[in-house]
């Protein structure tokens, strides 16, 4: 086993442990009234748009969480983005995510989000020998943020970050979450 494969295996094991921890914490809460399910569901997500000289990028990522109590929530999300640079490349990313949130204090939010993305990139063969690139990319983000009402601002880190495969420029990323 090569060194990089061993590192990926360790990262996968750590990812699995964190996901199981959040799922266990989320489902261990009691709910006495089954009719309150939709009262505890919150929706949110993100939109992105960027364009410039021959470049375009658009993204949409709706999310839904179920708040078990003021301290614990879990949810799912979808991710879609499209990017293109005229006469150079086109990229489509489609996937989903599982999210776990813990608020030990009202203002502090700790999060874990596992994201599985299908990346499809097509390069103009005049510039790059490998014209088509299609693969699955996993990401596990661990983060912390400051919460005020339904908005959280913070930073997260992708523990599975791979510079060659990731669609993100860096492992560290700021985030803003809105929930309604």
* CATH code, domain with 108: 2.40.160
Domain tally for the chain? 1
Judge whether 33 lies within some domain.
Answer: no
Judge whether 34 lies within some domain.
Answer: no
Structural domain for 134, as ranges: 3-27+43-178
Judge whether 35 lies within some domain.
Answer: no
Cα gap 142→89, rounded to integer Å: 31
For residue 146 the two structure tokens come to 């400051």
Cα gap 71→10, rounded to integer Å: 29
Judge whether 37 lies within some domain.
Answer: no
Sequence-ordered list of residues with C-beta below 8 angstroms from that of 24, at least 6 positions apart, any chain? none
CA angle centred on 42, ends 81 and 151, rounded to 5°: 75
pLDDT at position 13 is 63
**pTM: predicted TM-score of the whole model, two decimal places:** 0.73
**pLDDT at residue 177 is higher than 90:** no
- 3-class DSSP state of 81: strand
Judge whether 101 lies within some domain.
Answer: yes
Judge whether 164 lies within some domain.
Answer: yes
Judge whether 38 lies within some domain.
Answer: no
pLDDT tens for 47-79 read 888 888 888 989 899 999 999 999 999 999 999
Judge whether 99 lies within some domain.
Answer: yes
pLDDT at position 63 is 93
pLDDT tens for 144-175 read 999 998 889 999 999 999 888 887 878 898 88
């Amino acid at each position: 086993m090569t060194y990089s494969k061993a590192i990926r295996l360790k990262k996968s094991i750590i990812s699995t442990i964190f996901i199981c921890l959040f799922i266990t914490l989320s489902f261990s809460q009691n709910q006495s009234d089954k009719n309150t399910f939709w009262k505890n569901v919150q929706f949110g997500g993100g939109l992105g748009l960027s364009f410039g000289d021959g470049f375009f990028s658009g993204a949409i990522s709706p999310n839904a969480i179920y708040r078990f109590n003021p301290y614990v929530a879990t949810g799912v999300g979808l991710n879609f983005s499209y990017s293109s640079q005229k006469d150079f490349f086109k990229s489509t990313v489609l996937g989903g995510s599982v999210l776990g949130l813990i608020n030990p204090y009202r203002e502090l939010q700790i999060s874990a989000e596992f994201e599985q993305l299908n990346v499809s990139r097509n390069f103009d063969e005049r510039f790059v020998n490998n014209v088509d690139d299609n693969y699955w990319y996993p990401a596990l983000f661990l983060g912390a943020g400051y919460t005020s009402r339904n908005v959280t601002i913070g930073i997260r880190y992708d523990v599975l970050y791979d510079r060659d495969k990731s669609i993100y420029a860096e492992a560290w990323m700021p985030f803003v979450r809105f929930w309604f």
